[in-house]
Amino acid sequence: VTVSLRPARAAGAIGVRAFALVFDVGGTSIRAGLVDLAENTLVERLARGSGVVRRRPGVRWNAFVQTLRELGRTLRPHGEPAAIVVGFPGPVTSDGVALAAPTLWPAAPVEPFPLRAALEELWPSAVVDVVNDVTAAGFAYLDARRRSFCIVTVSSGIGHKVFLDGVPAVGSHGCGGELGHVVVDTTSNAPVCDCGGRGHLGAVASGRGTLRAAQARARTARAAFAASGLGRATDGEPARITNALLARSFRAGDAWTMNVVRPGAARLGWALSMVQSVVGIEDFLVVGGFATSLGERYLQEIAAGAERASWQSPLLWTRRLELGALGDDAGLIGAARHASMLVAER
């Protein structure tokens, strides 16, 4: 099933044909899309800031479900959808129970919630599925040639999913694919992860983790920092370092910036080499805002770390790694493809 992206046209144009509603939930925004199932086309989409979920009074999960309902109504005020697919930023069990939602409600632990059941109640005639957001993005990259691969996202955090012959391998509890929360630094002063754990890969190598490392290094050796490309771009002020400036200096080959990015990239490479050793995956798609902004040179740093951790296999790591081309659209496109598959199987 291929889903194409079309420039938005009137949702009414799909008339009485079967349609699906798909959602890609993130910490910053919730994207929603309307899928024409006859044409496998995402015909309409909109986004709303995720803050609306946090500002709503009442029970957190209720507020979230009501937000999806409103977005669905806005996209398609009349008619019942044939399918609903939600890409959710947290672990989701095989029966659609969301186990955690740190991206949606930072620093506010929530009870596990039967999200799929709640949406089935809202849209009783639809086939409903809730999957992890990285899984949803993975569906977008799945094709006849790419059936077994690992998608790894590097943005404010790190996550990954392994697809084996087209099926995401996450286990019945949905806990597979959480490379970002593996401990890679056991020292007592290792950085703390957003989940609260210490020394997790996500704390060391994510966009947020790398920014923290850059600011710490800049503060301990200010003169060296001030003389660097990134130092000049920030008037030698560590607090002025942003991920955007860091990415620009990295792409320009600034040695100071590359030295800051390298350790995290190498740890990520080490982790990917473990994935390759365990399941034999040879195809790694690197996605996420931080990775995309650093570009191809970042892949070379990851590859170098993976090479050092691997046995001398005939496949070069630089050929195994690829930047995802779909950008922020991957989650919605993947959810749309999954919706089409669910309806076809029904």
Residues that bind Zn ion (CB under 5 A): 181, 193, 195, 197, 200
Which residue in the shown chain puts its C-beta closest to Zn ion?
A: 193
CA-CA-CA-CA dihedral for 287, 290, 293, 298, to nearest 10: -80
Rg (C-alpha) for the chain, rounded Å, is 21
Q: Least distance in Å: CB of 181 to Zn ion?
A: 4
Nearer to Zn ion, 11 or 100 (CB): 100
Q: Least distance in Å: CB of 186 to Zn ion?
A: 14
Question: Angle, to 10 degrees, between the axis of helix 255-279 and the axis of helix 296-309?
Answer: 50
Nearer to Zn ion, 200 or 267 (CB): 200
Question: CA 76 to CA 58: how far, in whole Å?
Answer: 26
Q: Least distance in Å: CB of 195 to Zn ion?
A: 3
Question: CA 188 to CA 146: how far, in whole Å?
Answer: 41
Nearer to Zn ion, 201 or 241 (CB): 201
Q: Least distance in Å: CB of 90 to Zn ion?
A: 12
Q: Encoding tokens for residue 237?
A: 């002020």
Nearer to Zn ion, 109 or 124 (CB): 109
Phi, psi of 161 (to 5 degrees): -145, 140
Question: CA 346 to CA 341: how far, in whole Å?
Answer: 9
Q: Encoding tokens for residue 20?
A: 């699906």
Q: Least distance in Å: CB of 154 to Zn ion?
A: 14
Q: What residues are paired with 129 via a beta bridge? A: 85
End-to-end C-alpha distance for the chain, whole angstroms:
14
Nearer to Zn ion, 104 or 342 (CB): 104
Q: Least distance in Å: CB of 273 to Zn ion?
A: 20
Q: Encoding tokens for residue 183?
A: 């401990």
Residue 283 vs residues 68, 205, 302, 316, 318: alpha-carbon distances, Å = 34, 20, 14, 11, 11
Q: Least distance in Å: CB of 204 to Zn ion?
A: 10
CA angle 260/135/307 to nearest 5° reads 40
Nearer to Zn ion, 67 or 210 (CB): 210
Q: Least distance in Å: CB of 337 to Zn ion?
A: 29
CA-CA-CA-CA dihedral for 272, 274, 278, 279, to nearest 10: 0
Question: CA 169 to CA 334: how far, in whole Å?
Answer: 16
Residue pair 205/306 in contact (Cβ under 8 Å)? The answer is no
Contacts with 174 (C-beta within 8 Å, 6 or more apart), sequence order:
91, 92, 93, 94, 99, 132
Nearer to Zn ion, 181 or 338 (CB): 181
Strands laid side by side in the 321-323 sheet:
167-168, 158-164, 149-154, 284-287, 321-323
Nearer to Zn ion, 187 or 312 (CB): 187
Q: Least distance in Å: CB of 244 to Zn ion?
A: 24
Nearer to Zn ion, 128 or 211 (CB): 211
Q: Encoding tokens for residue 218?
A: 């800049």
